[in-house]
Each structure stands twice: as structure tokens, then as C-alpha cells.
Amino acid sequence: MPEVSQDAKQRHWAKTRNLTVLVLVIWFIFSFVVPWFAKDLNELSFLGFPLGYYFIVQGSLIVFVLLIFFQNWRQDAIDDEAGLGGGEE
Amino acid sequence: MIKGSFIENLGRVYAMYTGGFLVFIILMAILEQFGVGANTIGICFVAFTVVIYAVIGWLSRTMQVEAYYVAGREVPAVYNGMATAADWMSGASFVALAGGIYFGGYGYLGFIVGWTGGYVLVNSLMAPYLRKFGCYTVPDFIGTRYGGNLARFCAIVVLVVASFTYVTAQINASGTIAARALHIPFEAGVWVGLLGILLCSMLGGMRAVTWTQVAQYIVLIIAYLAPVIWMSNKQGFGIIPHFSYGDAVLRIQELEPLVSLGTAATEGAPFGGVRILTTPHNDPQGGMDSWKFVTLALCMMTGTASLPHILMRYFTTPSVRAARKSVAFSLFFIFLLYFTAPALATLTKLQLLDPTLPTAIIGQSFEAVKSLAWVQNWESVQMLWLSDSNGDGILQLNEFFMRPDIVVLATPEIAGLPYVVSGLVAAGGLAAAMSTADGLLLAIANALSHDLYYKIIDPKADTRHRLIVARVLLIVIGALAAIIASLQLTGILGAVAWAFCFAASGLFFPLVLGVWWKRANTQGAIAGMVFGFVAGSAYLYYVFPGGMGGTPWFGIDHLRFAIIGMPVSLVAMVVVSLMTPAPDAETQAMVDEVRVPSGKTILGAAH
């Protein structure tokens, strides 16, 4: 593995941290904020479902799956950019 | 048969396996047409699948430490995703989840959100870093990151308590299914279930468990999806019901006042476990309801991210990147079942309630319902009970008692599907319970053999010794769990939620801060584990009806006691860390290294 400077490692970690914070904010919204307002959201309708109900049986779940794939796609880019992507030992 | 190139041939091997299983299902369907009895078909399904798992377990036997503990770190991401999904989805997910939604309404859906959202935490905070660390077990990480046997020992204690609570519920579930399918007493069923579980894991450790769990995932997902999709087509709810059952939800809301939902039963059932439907399907009240929902979801999520049998699955991938990828696939495979469960619960409820459907029973003639074949079947095994308490000859909602567990198991019969589907569902439930029990037993036995025996008691033990100790422990712990399971102390769901809360109270912050806070030190981690775990357990004892039976604070009942344990753990860990000296330069450098995804693992191979 080519030598990567301390500086580059620090920038890599800063970007990783920012991405993680972004992911956790989205996670928080769909885990807690949306279900908290389920009663109000149920007034609206989506695909024939009451919206609040839709989110807790499908919507949030789909967001979680996509969120992890999104995070991994971005994280791989961050790793490659820093020259730290060659994860195979 | 399987040598060297096994990993390259995985796709072909499992495609053949899946094809073989489908052929087996068709064969059973043909036999049913020729008049073979339902009992024989049930026995064939259970026996056939268990024998296959045992064969895989035997083929994967090993005497190498790396293969025994982490499957040689060569499991491709997609397959590890399937294995994790099987490891994760327990008897509770398979059997009890849809029933829980059926009876629990909105409040219960906190489990669905919690048990999926937890993987976001696993992916962003835990799995890649623990994989980079190169540990064999979760206490291995705690012990090396924080140093010292005391920290390692605390982690072992939390792991054993959480996993053991969980595993008794799984052995209980596998015993129930084995007993019903093989027509033997429950106490014997428990031991048959345990025997199957040990056959899968004992000879090959993590390697054997990995490849059986992939096989078990394939069985359980087919067994869950096939009946729902079949039923939906047969009853005209759409080809894929998942996106079209919104109308069914609205229709149930319309029907609920008409069938007097919420009226208490006027008499009790003569046996326990059954209940009537009283909770509305979709009626969140906001306020306290919302609070209970989010606290339950939070406990299940942090529990997911701290349960060792899940985290250790990510130690088996070839690289950090593959570990992350396999978290994504794990959640995808889990999602397939979790977004089906609410559809199943909704459609089953509609079929029983809606008087315009031929399957309706509520509001129908009592005698006609009483003589339905599926009602009689389940009544004879005390899973269902009905009584015309007001004597009007019509079955009311508060006269129909049912055990939540049978929503999944009885749905094929309610919808009038052939018996082969019920046999398939039994095989799926058994696969779900067995795969989770496998993972949990292995997590406990590995922590005791690797961390307690090898790292703390006898660091000079040779490989052969270590692996023999690991296997003896596996049998002893399995037997202990089976004895406790045969006493039937707790309901399946309660025990599962407790396991999550124990793990979250004791391990969540020490694990997260081990990677994300360099200043965290040994004393802090020990304080975090001890105070969090003790505070959570003490609160559980205070609030549980079987303990002191105290009034819950702010609605925090025994299912969500990690809401008390986790903050205590966090505060104790931060305060004690700051009061004591910072970790040495070597440890800080180690944390820096964990954050770099490429390069060698922190712990060398075969440490």
C-alpha cells in the first residue's frame, strides 16, 4: 500500500465524519421525527395509504435501505480519493 | 465435494440448492394431491430442511482458528448479507411480528422501524471499524481498545446476559415448531431443536454457521413471501400486495366501529396466551403514543448496533469495504420480510372482519364458524378459542380469541391454500429460529472460549485445545438454554426486547466511543459498561410486573429499559474518562489506524 501522509488521513477522516453526520441526521428524521407526527401525516394520503402509516410500514424502511447504499457509495469515493480505497488486504 | 473453489462456485451451489428446494415443494404438492396426509407432509418439510443444514454443517467442519471464529474472512458481501439476515430474523420476526402488528396496531410498528433503522447505526458507527480492527469477538475489541482484563471481562458479562436472554426464546420457538410438526411433546421438541442447532455449528463454528444461515435465509424468505403473494392473488388483493394494501387499511378503519372494536371480552378463555383484538389498526394519538413509539424504536436500534451475534457477522468479510457492502445487503434482505409483515397482518385482519369477503368470520353465524376446518384445527391445540358469550348465535369480535403467533401460521389455512403451504411456513419458521439460535450460541461460546479462556485464563493454550474448549462450551450453553427454554418462563417477544435493551445499556456507548472518541479510556469504558448495565437491570427489576412491579416513569416500561441504561452509561463513561488520564499515545495511534479503511488489521491473523 502506498504511503499516505498524516495530513491526507486527517482530511479523509474529516470527510468521513461529515458524511456520517449527514447520514445520521437523515436517519434521525425518518426514525423519530416522521413517526412522531404520524397522527398529522395520516390526514394526507399516498398510494392509497394514510401517509403516516405508509412511512412507518414502508417509507422509512425504504429510506434506510437507500441511505446505507448511498453512504457506501459516497464513502467508497472518499476512500478512493484519499488513496485509502484498496481495502483488500 | 467442496474444496478450494467453493467460494467461486457459491452462486452455482446456492442456485442448485434453491432449485432443489423448489422441486421438493412441488413434489410435496403432488403428494398432497395423491392424498398423502397433512402430518406426513409437515414431517417431510421439517426433516428434509434440517438434514440439509446438518449436511452443510458437516461439510464445513474445521480445525483452524481463523475458520472457526471468523469463517476464514472470505465470505462475499452478498452472501454475508443473507447470512446476517437469517442470523437477525428470529422466530420472533418470522412467527410473532405479523401477529404483533395484527394485535398491537400503531404502537407495535415501533419494532419494525427500530429493527431496520438500527442497521444505519451498524453501518455508520460500528461494522467497518470493527472489521478493520480484526477482532474475533466483540469483547476482543473492548479488551484491546481499552486494554486490561477487567474491561474485557465486563464486556463478556454483558454479552452473555444479553445473548442468553435471547437464545432461550429462540430454542423455545424452534421447540414449539418441531413439536407441532413432528407430533412430539414440547419438552422433547426443545431437545430436537437444540440437536439441529448444534449439528449446524459445532464442527465448523462460524464457517459452518455462515453457510447454513445462507441456506436458512433462502428457505425462510420463500416460506414468508410465497403464502402472502399466493393469498393476495387468490383473494384479489393484487399480484404484489405490498403497494396496494392501502385500501385495505382504510377499509379496516371503516369496519372497526361497526364490529365494536375495543369492547372488552365478557368472559376469559380457559387457557392462557390467547387474546381478543382491541387496538385499532392505524390510530396514532400523538403525545404519549408518539413518545412510546420513538423510545421503543430507539432501544431496538441501539440494541441492534450492540448485539454481538450481529456485529461478529461483519468480521467474516474479506475487507472493510466488503463489510459495509454486506451491511447494505443485510438490511435489504431483512427489508424483504419486514415490509411484508404489515401487509400480511392487514390482509389477514381484513379477511376475518370484512363481511363482504367469503373468509369473514366476525358477524357470521357462530355455529358455521365453529365448524370451519381451520378453526377446529387451531382450537384443538389451544391456539384459538371462541365462545358465544352473549348467546345471540353470532360471533362478535370480543368472542374470538387467538394467539398472536398463529397469524402467520394460520393465514394459509384461513385463505384456503393447500396444506403444502403450511408445511413450508413451518419449515421457514424453524429456519428462522434455528439460524438465530446458532448465531447467539456461537457468540456466547466464542466469547467464553476466546476471551475468557484463551485471553484471560490460559494464554498459552494451543489451537487444538482452544477449539475443543469452544465446542464443549457450545454444547454446555446450548443444553443450559434448552433446560431454561423447556420451563417456558417468558413470552417470546418480551425476552427478545430485553436482550436488545441489555446490549444497548451495557455495550452501545463503549463500542461507539471506542472508535469515535479518542479520549475514551479504560476506566471510562468500565464505568460505562458497569453503570449502564446495572442501571438498566435495576430499572427492569423495578418496573417489571414479576419484579417490584413499580409504576413506569414517563411510560418507560420493561420493553424499553435501555432508555434508562443508555444515558447512565454515556454520562458515567464521559465523566470517568475525563477524571482519569488520557489513553497513552499507542492507544491513540491505534484509534487513528482503525479509522483508515485500507491496510492491515490492527490485530494480526490468528491472534
Q: CB-based contact (8 Å) between B121 and chain A?
A: yes
Residue B136 grid coordinates: 474475533
Q: Is the pLDDT of residue B494 over 70?
A: no
**C-alpha–C-alpha distance, residues B525 and B146, integer Å:** 7
Does the model's ipTM exceed the 0.85 cut? yes
Q: Which of B117-131, B215-229, B403-417 has the lowest mean pLDDT?
A: B403-417
C-alpha distance from B584 to closest chain A C-alpha (Å): 19
Mean pLDDT of A34-63: 84
**C-alpha–C-alpha distance, residues B430 and B53, integer Å:** 11
**C-alpha–C-alpha distance, residues B501 and B292, integer Å:** 15
Confidence of residue B509 (pLDDT cuts 50, 70, 90): very high
Residue reference for cell 406426513: B40
Confidence of residue A1 (pLDDT cuts 50, 70, 90): very low
**C-alpha–C-alpha distance, residues B150 and B334, integer Å:** 36
Confidence of residue B5 (pLDDT cuts 50, 70, 90): low
DSSP state of B550: P
**Selected residue with higher pLDDT from B29 and B275:** B29
Q: CB-based contact (8 Å) between B590 and chain A?
A: no
Instruction: Note the pLDDT of residue B301.
Output: 93
Residue of A nearest to B132 (CA): A87
**Selected residue with higher pLDDT from B98 and B269:** B98
Q: Is the pLDDT of residue B168 over 70?
A: yes
User: Cβ–Cβ of A47/B246 closer than 8 Å?
Assistant: yes
pLDDT digits (tens, 9 = 90+) for B98-119: 888 888 888 888 888 999 999 9
pLDDT digits (tens, 9 = 90+) for B212-237: 899 999 999 999 998 888 888 877 77
Contact B321, B597 (CB under 8 A): yes
**Selected residue with higher pLDDT from B339 and B276:** B339
Confidence of residue A88 (pLDDT cuts 50, 70, 90): very low
C-alpha distance from B333 to closest chain A C-alpha (Å): 10
Q: Which amino acid is at A45?
A: S
**C-alpha–C-alpha distance, residues B297 and B110, integer Å:** 5
Residue of B nearest to A82 (CA): B596
Instruction: Enumerate helices (H) and strands (E) in chain B, giving the number of each.
Output: 26, 2
Mean pLDDT of B1-17: 74
User: Cβ–Cβ of A72/B597 closer than 8 Å?
Assistant: no
C-alpha distance from A13 to closest chain B C-alpha (Å): 7
Mean pLDDT of B145-160: 88
User: Cβ–Cβ of B246/A54 closer than 8 Å?
Assistant: yes
Q: Is the pLDDT of residue B597 over 60?
A: yes
Instruction: Note the pLDDT of residue A19.
Output: 93
pLDDT digits (tens, 9 = 90+) for B300-337: 999 999 998 888 888 888 888 889 999 999 999 999 99
User: Cβ–Cβ of A31/B297 closer than 8 Å?
Assistant: yes
User: Cβ–Cβ of B282/A42 closer than 8 Å?
Assistant: yes
Q: Which of residues 233-262 of B touch A (CB under 8 A)?
A: 242-247, 249-250
Residue B547, helix vs strand vs coil = coil
**C-alpha–C-alpha distance, residues B404 and B397, integer Å:** 15
pTM of the model: 0.90
State what percent of residues in chain B have pLDDT above 70. 96
Contact B594, B515 (CB under 8 A): yes
C-alpha distance from B129 to closest chain A C-alpha (Å): 12
Confidence of residue B66 (pLDDT cuts 50, 70, 90): confident
Cβ atoms within 10 Å of B293's Cβ, excluding its own: 24
Q: Which amino acid is at B448?
A: L
User: Cβ–Cβ of B294/A9 closer than 8 Å?
Assistant: no
Residue of A nearest to B123 (CA): A68
pLDDT digits (tens, 9 = 90+) for B235-251: 777 778 888 787 788 88
**C-alpha–C-alpha distance, residues B357 and B369, integer Å:** 14
pLDDT digits (tens, 9 = 90+) for B454-483: 877 777 878 788 888 888 888 888 888 888
Instruction: Note the pLDDT of residue B45.
Output: 87
Q: Is the pLDDT of residue B6 over 80?
A: no
Contact B293, B109 (CB under 8 A): yes
Residue A83, helix vs strand vs coil = coil
**C-alpha–C-alpha distance, residues B32 and B249, integer Å:** 35
User: Cβ–Cβ of B297/A32 closer than 8 Å?
Assistant: yes
Dihedral sign for Cα B306, B310, B315, B320, please. Answer: negative
Q: Exposure of B260 by Cβ count < 10 A (0-12 exposed, 13-18 middle, 19+ buried)?
A: exposed
Residue B194 grid coordinates: 437444540
Interface test with A, best of B108, B116, B120, B315 (most A CBs within 10 A): B120
Confidence of residue B488 (pLDDT cuts 50, 70, 90): low
Cβ atoms within 10 Å of A44's Cβ, excluding its own: 11
Confidence of residue B164 (pLDDT cuts 50, 70, 90): confident
Residue reference for cell 447494505: B328
Cβ atoms within 10 Å of B198's Cβ, excluding its own: 21
Strand duo B400-402 + A45-46: pairing: unpaired
pLDDT digits (tens, 9 = 90+) for B377-389: 788 777 788 888 7
Residue B229, helix vs strand vs coil = helix
For B324, which of A35, A72, A88 is closest by C-beta distance? A72
Q: Exposure of B273 by Cβ count < 10 A (0-12 exposed, 13-18 middle, 19+ buried)?
A: middle
C-alpha distance from B115 to closest chain A C-alpha (Å): 10
Q: Is the pLDDT of residue A27 over 90?
A: yes
Instruction: Note the pLDDT of residue B398.
Output: 80
Q: Which of residues 30-89 of A touch B (CB under 8 A)?
A: 30-32, 35-40, 42, 45-50, 52-54, 56-58, 60-62, 64-65, 67-69, 71-72, 75-76, 79, 84-89
Q: Is the pLDDT of residue A26 over 90?
A: yes
Dihedral sign for Cα B497, B557, B302, A61, please. Answer: positive
Residue B554 grid coordinates: 414517563
Instruction: Note the pLDDT of residue A87.
Output: 46
Q: Which amino acid is at B500?
A: F
Residue of B nearest to A5 (CA): B596
Residue of A nearest to B253 (CA): A50
**C-alpha–C-alpha distance, residues B196 and B181, integer Å:** 14
Mean pLDDT of B444-453: 82
Q: Which of residues 303-332 of B touch A (CB under 8 A)?
A: 318-322, 324-325, 327-328, 331-332
User: Cβ–Cβ of B285/A61 closer than 8 Å?
Assistant: no
Count interface pairs A-B at CB distance under 8 A: 154
Residue B453 grid coordinates: 479462556
- Helices B492-516, B288-304: axis angle to 10 degrees equals 70
Provide, as residue numbers in chain B, all residues whose Cβ is less than 8 Å from the Cβ of A53: 106, 249, 282
Residue B403 grid coordinates: 394467539
What is the residue-averaged pLDDT of chain A?
84
B544: left (phi over 0), alpha (psi -120 to 50) or beta: beta
Cβ atoms within 10 Å of B9's Cβ, excluding its own: 13
Nearest-10 Cα torsion for B96, B97, B102, B104: 100
C-alpha distance from A58 to closest chain B C-alpha (Å): 6
Q: Which of B213-222, B407-416, B432-441 has the lowest mean pLDDT?
A: B407-416
User: Cβ–Cβ of B342/A49 closer than 8 Å?
Assistant: no
For every residue of B478-531, which 3-state class applies, written as one string? HHHHHHHHHCCCCCHHHHHHHHHHHHHHHHHHHHHHHHHCCCCCHHHHHHHHHH
Provide, as residue numbers in chain B, all residues whose Cβ is less than 8 Å from the Cβ of A72: 123, 321, 324-325, 327-328
Question: Which of B111, B118, B114, B87 is CA-nearest to residue B97?
Answer: B111
What residues pair up with B191 in beta bridges, in sequence order?
A: none
State what percent of residues in chain B have pLDDT above 90. 14
